[in-house]
Structure 1
Amino acid sequence: MAAPLIQDWELTAAIKDLADWLVQQGLENAPVETWLEAFCKRLVSAGIPLQRANITVRAHHPEIGTVAFRWHRDGGNEREDFVRRTDAPEQYILSPIYYLLANNIEEIRQDLTVEDPELSFPIFDELRERGATDYFAVKRFFLIQDNAMPVDPMQAEEGAIISLTTDASGGFTSQQLDGLRQLISPLCLTLKCGANRLMAEDITAAYLGKDASRRVLSGDITRGSSETISAVIWYFDLQGFTKLSEALPGDSIIELLNDYFAEAVDVVERNGGNVLKFMGDGMLAIFDINQVTDARRVAIHAAAELRDTFDELNQRRQADGLPTTGFTLSLHAGDVLYGNIGGRSRLDFTVVGPAVNTTARILGMCSALDQNIVVSDKVAGESVSSIPSLVSLGQYRLRGVAERQELFTID
């Protein structure tokens, strides 16, 4: 149902109020999902017969390239994430978004009711089926003044593509389009505030881990600030990496690391753990005992899952003629200091303490004991009777560790 027609001065006042409201949403750092539906409904109430809105922004995420937020008058909100890729899929090439980015134009408008339209994209056919009569879209850069400038659609600048459709007879009026254009700047300001927060969350989560990211963004950034937590510590290392790095070209080494680390990270995070850092061909992670139910047992099952995952990955890589490798993994549990450590201007959010050092020593025992997984009694002790695959390897003295350690493996 189209919005009611109202007087020009009422529309002008409504646009002004809506612009102020948008700025307030940006100041409050409200997510797009929160304010988009209210914004669109306010537009309809202001006399602009909006049927659909689509906002596309660039993402700062290792796997997600762009994010689209959509509102449908009859269907509410939806979000779609587009995978980061180097090639352009046909659906994207044949879209008005690609056209806007690639050409020296700032906006496009197309009457969807004419028989021979100047612009034709597959999405227009879908919109016509839903009763749309008019399509209006603009591109806005956040860091570039010339919004008409063409850019590489696969390396889009920071900004937004905003498209709006109506199903009103005759489409948008000139006054309605003028009102929409007045709202673009405050809308982009609100988007930029949300995009900056989303960028911070994505980047810190990618480089620090989800839990450390949450802590840092909540203000836990003082050097030396930390808390003592009880955790299962996971120390992982790829086998034979030195020889592989000497025999393989650099790009093959990076591909190999990414392939194996991807599986290791997935296993840890799927089981509730947090990956803290990568160290060359190694990885440090924790399972917080106070946050992961039965964390010791979970970490043991995750270790067994990792072994099966690596077997499957090695079969795939071998079938593709790619080099393969294995891993060593140590599990230990204890109290650790979890927080910010480092220099005045360069910090690391990690864990330290005797339990971490002991875990590293246990990792060194993998080679001596000819096992790829070695688990300390602090992790295996309570589970030995209920996990038959846990097998004792005996008691050992570890360098720099006062107490003898009974070590186990997973048969």
Structure 2
Amino acid sequence: MRFANALLVAGMSMIGSAAATAETLTIATVNNGDMIRMQKLTGDFTRMNPDIDLQWVTLDESTLRRQVTSDIASGSGRYDVMTIGTYEVPIWGKQGWLVSLEDLPASYDIEDLLPPIRDGLSVDGKLYAAPFYGESSMVIYRTDLMKEAGLTMPHTPDWEFIGEAARAMTDRQAGINGICLRGKPGWGENIALLTATANSFGARWFDMEWNAQFDTPEWKQTLSYYIDVLNEAGPPGAAQNGFNENLALFQDGKCGIWIDATVAASFVTDPATSRVADKVGFALAPDNGLGKRSNWLWAWALAIPASSPKVDAAKKFIEWATSKDYHALVAAKHGWANVPPGTRTSLYQNPEYAKLPFARMTLDSINGSNPLDPTVDEVPYVGIQFVSIPEFQLIATAVGQQFSAALAGKMSIDEALRNAQALTTREMKRAGYGN
């Protein structure tokens, strides 16, 4: 009996010792549905890795970007895993601020990652962040309202048709807005939409000498179209609506057309969260007859800051969270529709996933995105809904405030464009671009 008790005490001591020596990974992540679901499934990871504890810092998108940017630039080492995107990775990777993920085990199958997504998260051919989900943008619309309006959504619509359909589908008495678009200011909010839209109108942020281009007819046409269609067919208070607000409006049956991230597809077709789940169709993002569609390319990805002292444990977590096995885990627990999209070729080759109504449209939208050639006229930058320079985050947020104010009627379109031109020119000169 004393021997058994001794074994029990020794075993408990070993368990206590393991717990005491467990590494704690601090993970900064964005507050969205896919990331929250992942957190709830991490019991699978900790069972396989009892020597690793997970501590979560879950933030809204804007706060997350501010905090991880501050941490990475200062090298404070506050986070061991960061949720960042295709904007940050090339810039931070070149600075030596991120740990390369090229040595993930062969079973991870880096070659299975979709080429546009992998390229966007690589520097000089080396992967510096693993995609948790990837996205482009597309048209999401109500099939019943489109039919009632006597219209048929093309597979490849243009902006003229979108405007016509949005106005025809608007029913103010019934509380139905013909179109919902991002209006909330921010480089990842209204500027993401407007920059991608501007590409299709022939506009660009800079010419080849890094001169700002907001004083051009193309930008005026872009902003005028956007404000006019939202004033005539959009929801009240559109200038305060971002992705989450428009998602809620669409799920509640209050939007006819929503142009936004492909990742939204699983949310709007889920009967548990969407009142219109069986009345949703999809189309490619609109063009304007100039050879460029207004779809973007983005990935929320997991990366390890070079300041983390827990690189090996962090790689284990990232390998788990972005693997084929994780996809299978989500499918088993929550169904194939809720598997994080847009990252792996194998997902789109899976016959069960291919049955989903949005699978092919998401893949076509991602594969149709080319951040190396985003605009009608030549530009000195890469990036579709952003310009891949460190200064863009600050400048674009300020420009987004001007455009949001114009949408809210606080200033004219001409005034907003003049302000955008002036502040962009000032900040670019201060940063040493151009002459």
Which category of TM-score, normalised to the shorter sequence, fits these structures?
A: under 0.3
**TM-score, structure 1 normalization:** 0.26
> RCO greater where, 1 or 2, for CA within 8 Å and sep 6 or more?
2
**TM-score, structure 2 normalization:** 0.25
- Larger % of strand: which? 1
